A and B are shown apart, each in its own frame.
Chain A
Amino acid sequence: MKKGTDDVATAEEEGGLVFHPMDQFIVKPLFGGDTVNWYTPTNVTLWMVIAILAITALLVLGTRGRAIVPSRVQSVAELAYGFVYKMVEDVAGKDGVKYFPYIMTLFMFIVFSNMLGLIPMSFTTTSHIAVTAVMAVAVFLAVTILGFVLHGMSFLKLFWISAAPLPLRPILALIEVISYFVRPVSHSIRLAGNMMAGHAVIKVFAAFAAVALISPLSILAITAIYALETLVSFIQAYVFAILTCVYLKDALHPHH
């Protein structure tokens, strides 16, 4: 990474290519100043507020008519509702449905943050490990606590696979425990990594576009990657939500 920035610096001096693929992720105060305190309104705040407004526009303003025959926006809102509801019901089961609002919150936030991040010059809040880690850890803690509250110590049977032969069980239990604690790590890094990588790649190609000779190729590549990123934005939100449902199912029904 450092090597890359050094290259950039030399390139800038030579007046050639300018790579700043990571600059888009810098957290900046909105109203000047350099210090970022916990309460400072930053570009994080701005884009999160925009996400809130967009979600409100879709799910609240869009359904204002409460029409039996829905308008376009209302049917999109209903589609989103039905999509997540069915996912929770199918994966976590009927008794998982009461946690549907939480999963809907996560899904809507992630999908809107990802999509808003695709707007040029925007800031992608979900490309930050801080954001995704908080969500992943929150899911991890909530699901673990829920498991112990619902099942007490028998929740630990989740790690004791009674279907396996007895000699294998301790080994499997060890693997299960490790994989259980790795969950929040993979859960958060998957999302942040996907978002960061895609946006950085677009930036790199954008920098190449400054060179007349390869700019057509570069613009073509940006277009292709942009399409891919649109897909990834949705899929990553879906993956995050469905994994949350899977973890929730483990908490609700820990017996294999």
Chain B
Amino acid sequence: MATETESQGDAAATGADAAPGGAEAVGMPQLDFTTFPNQIFWLVVTLVVIYLILSRVALPRIESVLNDRKSTITGDIARAEELKLQAEEAEAAYNQALADARAEAQTIIAEAKAEMQAELDAATAKADAEIAAKAAESERAIADIRAGAMQSVEEVAKATAAEIVSAMGGKSDAKAIDAAIAAQVKG
């Protein structure tokens, strides 16, 4: 590398020598070759130091910071997406629950209606039965009363007939009277 540089310098020097005067004195410090080894030495040291600092510390650190930031941003976006999904799920669940509750309410209402209907029907039937029973009882009572009345009419008729017969001076024949009455009552 050094030889390359020297030949560089030589080329430049000849170029400068062509310029008026020559550049040995203060003219152009860039072409003062006595300072070249010094500059090259310190340049190489500097570049090596900078390279070591950059490659060992600075660049890996900045790279990791940039990667961290990238992953943080993508992570945040993913989490936001996830939260959005969760929210959507929650909304769906809420709607589902609402629909379920509605359906349940409907069934409860229907059940209650049916129950009430059944109760009503039962009560109606019972009432009908009671009414029927009462009516039958009344009928029977009426029949009894009617029978009682027939009996009484017969007895009264018999007694009256016997009285009439005896009053007319006849001898009341009980058997004949009964038969006559029975025939009359039967009509």
Interface residues of A (CB under 8 A from B): 1-3, 5, 22-23, 25-27, 36-40, 42, 44-45, 48-49, 51-52, 55-56, 59-60, 63, 66-68, 70, 74, 77-78, 81-82, 100-102, 104-106, 108-109, 125, 127-131, 133-135, 137-138, 140-141, 184-185, 188-189, 192, 196
Contact = CB atoms under 8 A, between A and B. Distances in A.
A128 B42 CA distance: 13
Q: Identify the interface centre among B5, B28, B31, B55: most chain A CB within 10 Å of its CB.
A: B5
B1 A138 contact: yes
Interface of B: 1, 4-5, 8-9, 11-12, 19-23, 25-32, 34-47, 49-51, 53-55, 57-59, 61-66, 68-69, 72
Given A25-B29, A36-B35, A56 B59 contact: no
Contact of A37 (B19, B31, B38): B38
Nearest first, the 5 closest Cβ-Cβ pairs linking A and B are A2-B21, A38-B37, A59-B58, A27-B35, A48-B46
A102 B51 contact: yes
23 contacts: A1-B23, A25-B29, A25-B30, A27-B39, A36-B35, A44-B39, A44-B43, A45-B42, A48-B42, A55-B53, A66-B68, A77-B62, A100-B59, A101-B51, A105-B47, A128-B39, A129-B30, A130-B9, A130-B43, A133-B8, A135-B47, A140-B4, A188-B8
Given A5-B26, A37-B38, 5 more contacts: A48-B43, A101-B55, A105-B47, A108-B50, A184-B4
B32 A27 contact: yes
A176 B149 CA distance: 154
Given A81-B62, A137-B5, A196 B46 contact: no
A196 B46 CA distance: 21
B50 A185 contact: no
A131 B43 contact: yes
A152 B163 CA distance: 168
Nearest to B60: A101
Contacts of B5: 130, 133-134, 137
B30 A192 contact: yes
Contacts of B40: 38, 130-131, 134
Contacts of A105: 47, 50-51, 54-55
B30 A184 contact: no
A51 B47 CA distance: 10
Given A3-B21, A128-B39, A27 B65 contact: no
